[in-house]
Amino acid sequence: MAETARPIVIRVNGTERSLMVERSRSLLSVLRTELSLTGTKYGCGSGECGACTVLLEGQPVRACTTPVSHADGRSVTTIEGLQGKDGSLHPVQQAFLDVQAFQCGYCTPGMIMEAVALLRKNPNPTALAIREGMAGHLCRCGTYGRIVRAIQAAAAKMRR
């Protein structure tokens, strides 16, 4: 028997959104399909790769395994929500560009969201702390060294 759609309210990137959806659907599916926020990527579908990472109340979660019901009445930030009101990139986004921390870019939105959360928790992380904080993210291209350098550069800029 199919689940009945129910109303939920989510604050996505600062805007309150009312939706009629099945509460067991993944947050990723709702973000991409219902809200057309396609920056959050579907990678593995089981929460292992990190490509679908978003911030739920400021904490990184895997959107592919998070039921949308967990976001009801809460705040979600996606990669689209990081830019400034003037369209400027978040320092982590800019650092990823400046350091060329990606090749194909598929993992990048999830990496950036995790890095933002990491830097909020620890504004001056060591390289080891960055590697440990980003350990659940997979990069098919293997640019891990550049990812660490990008996060270090963003941290330095954000501390100024």
DSSP secondary structure letters along 140-152: TT--HHHHHHHHH
Round to whole Å and give the CA distance between 19 and 8. 5
Element (H, E) at 130: helix 127-133
Round to whole Å and give the CA distance between 63 and 51. 9
For residue 67, report the phi and psi dihedrals to the nearest 5 degrees: -65, 140
pLDDT at 3: 82
pLDDT at 1: 64
The pTM assigned to this predicted structure is 0.95
Averages of pLDDT over runs of 10 residues in the chain (160 residues) are 88 97 97 97 95 98 98 98 95 97 92 98 98 94 95 96
Residues counted in the chain = 160
Round to whole Å and give the CA distance between 111 and 139. 9
Which residue ranges form the domains of the chain, and what is each CATH number?
A: 6-81 (3.10.20.30), 91-159 (1.10.150.120)
Q: Name beta bridge partners: 8.
A: 19
